[in-house]
Structure 1
Amino acid sequence: MKSAKNEECVAFQDKLPEGTSVLESQVAGHPFDTKKNTIGMLKSQNGRVLKPVSKPILGEREISFYENLQTASDSTSLELLGFTPSYYGTKEMQFSDKTVKFLELGDITNGMAEPCIMDIKIGKRTWDPLSFPEKKKSEQEKYSESKRAYGFCIPGFQVYRLTDGQLKKFGKDYGKKLNEKSIIEAIEIFLNASPGNLPNRDLILKILSPLSKILSFFRSQKKFRFYSSSLLIAYDAKRLRQSIRINGDLDNPYVSMNRSGTFSSYAPRSGDKPIPVSENGSKSISPESFSPPKTIRSRTLDKFQQLKRSLSSFEIPKKEVEKPQTSRRVLSLEVNRLCRTHSYTHNFDNDIIEIKEDYAAILAELCGNSEEQQNWVRVNMIDFTHVFPAEDDELDTNYLEGIENLIKLFETFLA
């Protein structure tokens, strides 16, 4: 069943400027509106995002902000530039019977197969100093419970579920109902936490890294005041699924993922040895933890020998010969994973196929540069229509409170 937003997008397809398409990953702001004949976010053929200037005064203010950042030489602006999307200027295009100006920006989801995106508006106060009383009252009433509890709100997000690859979208109507408790549940959904288990630790750490850098920036910058500005967090669910398959899910050793990307659970048999628990409470599985029949072990090892012969046909790039320790380590992990999972996944053919796919992924990572390897999680500051110069020598406490609480929430999942 199509949502009203999707139906409006379809209605505009014939009116879109040539060489553009609807930005499918848009989760908040600048919606298509058939009644007002307004256009939403677009994507150009070169992969860049086109943000329409729907309100001239606010739009020109944001354009000035981006353009000033490109030419600024002070340390505050240079540091801020690293947290914002790439800016490629503006362009005017025909939409329906009118000319529309667009900001041309880099796409935070570029190259992601299954982009999961969350828009988080930072600050209890989302109205700027020039707002009329009516605007101030309206902003105070929107997302009031989450802003009061944490100093931020969630206008929208989308997530590709690890279990079945299905895309789920949560819009502003969902976000406006979030409160102190349910906002945590929303973040869990976004992080693909399975019922009863914490989100993937590696994913959380990769999100916390850029958030901490932005926090550090706001603990020192006294040049700007940010109102109604957002943080856009994105990660690739396909890469997360792949990471869990290669590295394992230490939070739940009884959960494995089959080739189609769905989870399968293993219930321990009465004859199985208990899983060792270390002093810090973490669980570990060793090959000795289970006692499979010898015939099953032999069959699995035979299949693995076939796999090794198949993998030997892969040609490792010449420059990777210089990384023998890294290559041997990741391949050793794959051998160990196969040997220890055969006792409880009970699906050997899929294991073999998965190992082949994961080996190809490992080779791709070894051939890529370090930025490509780590860049499946990204964070950008966006929406600068309400940024003003600071009138005093004080910190932006409105923004600081929101991002500090956001980081604390993410950190609770690491406990």
Structure 2
Amino acid sequence: MYGKDKGGILQHPDGTVLKQLQPPPRGPREQEFYNKVYDSDCCDSILLELREYLPKYFGVWSPPTAPNDIYLKLEDVTRKFNKPCIMDVKIGQKSYDPYASAEKIQQQVSKYPLMEEIGFLVLGMRVYHVSSDSYETQNQHYGRSLTKETVKDGISKFFHSGYCLRKDVVAASIQKVEKILEWFEGQTQLNFYASSLLFVYEGSCQATTVRLSDVTLAEKRRVPKGLLSGGDVLEYNNNINVINSTENGKIEASVSKGLSKFYALHKKACSKRHHSQLSLKVENSEQDNVWKTSTCITQEHLNGNVLPQLEKVFYHVPAETKESANVEVRMIDFAHVFPSNTKDEGYIYGLKNLITVLQNILDN
């Protein structure tokens, strides 16, 4: 929904979504933008590349019962996902266009005075939590409550599954936003105002395989109640921290102890659930868990025989994670796009700041 009485995005049975055309001049301007970018005779390399970052456009549509109601027919970017996690982030230092009235400018600035300094605004998010099998939703009031100090934590909520931070998704998102930034750095014909980036990723557990000696088990990212007895919680880390060589003496014993505990817990779980899924609770490296000591190994040990053992029991994140994470980042909302002969510095500023925040989430 937008406004008090306006319908929002509708899903069409054919797999597209329908966005009702806004009143003039916004609606016709957005339609003109899509028509220009997706013109079958278009040979402008800048616009042809831009298509990669937009939902596909299939023209306009009207319901038979109301032929005067016009809808833009667009690709449903969420369609391929089982449990889509969705975030809408408005980009740019100004959420009003060059032709806005003084009243409109004041209205927009008062909604989020930090827009010019931060360069983006979270308009809303919907995050699937594996732990509770439910969605958490935040509206635009949540985004407007974020300050320079809290914006990183505010956005990191979108990448949290309820058990762990999805660093694979953060990394893939950075890569996709960087591609959009490259496009903006190379074009001087369009300026975008009050336009957004739509982030979508798969929130449900992606079954992966972990090998323990000759045992293969399907792995999900949570521990069902009752799977492990005696209050044992199985935890592990994606991160291997390199420490000073002065601590060498304590390492091998702790790694061995950690592996032994993991294997013992694994056997206990498998005896209770034959041919079932052993779920592992993922924790970030900065949190306390049973693997904290055992994952701190020296560079010397990375080249020895410890790493092959660790690779058998840790959830292995391949080098191509950035490419393999199921993530979409698309530009949406083009009611305020105008011809230009200069770079869109406001949008570029917002993209760079957003990338910095995402990188900080990944690094920390």
Same fold (TM over 0.5): yes
* Pairwise CA distance, 1:172: 1.6
- Give the structure 2 partner of residue 395 of structure 1: 343
* Pairwise CA distance, 1:385: 0.7
- Give the structure 1 partner of residue 309 of structure 2: none
TM-score (norm 1): 0.64
- Specify every segment of 5 or more residues in structure 1 that has no aligned partner in the other structure, as ranges: 1-29, 249-254, 269-274, 293-339, 357-369
1:343-382 counterparts in 2 under 5 A?
343=265, 346-348=268-270, 349-350=272-273, 352-354=275-277, 374=324, 376-382=326-332
1:102-251 counterparts in 2 under 5 A?
102-145=71-114, 147-192=115-160, 199-238=165-204, 241-242=205-206, 246=209
Q: Does the residue aligned with 1:353 lie in a helix, a strand or coil?
A: coil
2:222 to 246, 257, 260: 257
Separation in structure 2 between the aligned mates of residue 165 and residue 280 of structure 1, nearest angstrom:
41
Q: Would the aligned equivalents of 1:231 and 1:382 in 2 still touch at CA under 8 Å?
A: yes
- Give the structure 1 partner of residue 358 of structure 2: 410
1:210-359 counterparts in 2 under 5 A?
210-238=176-204, 241-242=205-206, 246=209, 257-258=222-223, 266=232, 278-279=242-243, 289-291=258-260, 340-343=262-265, 346-348=268-270, 349-350=272-273, 352-354=275-277
- Would you say 1:31 and 2:2 are equivalent positions? yes
- CA 1:402–1:353 in 2, change beyond 3 Å: closer, same or farther? same
**Residue identity opposite 1:31 in structure 2:** Y
Deviation string 1:202-242 (CA, Å, 9 cap, x unpaired) is 1111111211100111112111101011000000101xx32
Deviation string 1:173-214 (CA, Å, 9 cap, x unpaired) is 22222212232222121101658x6x2221111111211100
- Give the structure 2 partner of residue 45 of structure 1: 13
Q: Would the aligned equivalents of 2:199 and 2:329 in 1 still touch at CA under 8 Å?
A: yes
**Residue identity opposite 2:223 in structure 1:** N
Higher helix share: 1
Separation in structure 1 between the aligned mates of residue 91 and residue 228 of structure 2, nearest angstrom:
35
- Specify every segment of 5 or more residues in structure 2 that has no aligned partner in the other structure, as ranges: 212-219, 246-250, 280-319
Separation in structure 2 between the aligned mates of residue 31 and residue 128 of structure 1, nearest angstrom:
19
- CA 1:280–1:109 in 2, change beyond 3 Å: closer, same or farther? farther
- CA 1:98–1:132 in 2, change beyond 3 Å: closer, same or farther? farther
* Pairwise CA distance, 1:124: 1.5
Deviation string 1:149-180 (CA, Å, 9 cap, x unpaired) is 42100111110112222111111222222212
- CA 1:345–1:170 in 2, change beyond 3 Å: closer, same or farther? farther
Q: Which has the higher contact order (CA 8 A, sep 6+)?
A: 2
Aligned length: 298
- Give the structure 2 partner of residue 86 of structure 1: 56
Q: Does the residue aligned with 2:178 lie in a helix, a strand or coil?
A: helix
- Would you say 1:384 and 2:352 are equivalent positions? no
Deviation string 1:337-363 (CA, Å, 9 cap, x unpaired) is xxx55436842244741269xxxxxxx
Deviation string 1:44-85 (CA, Å, 9 cap, x unpaired) is 111211000131321111111111111221111111111000
The two structures, once aligned, show a CA RMSD in angstroms of 3.5
Separation in structure 2 between the aligned mates of residue 222 and residue 107 of structure 1, nearest angstrom:
29
Q: Does the residue aligned with 2:277 lie in a helix, a strand or coil?
A: helix
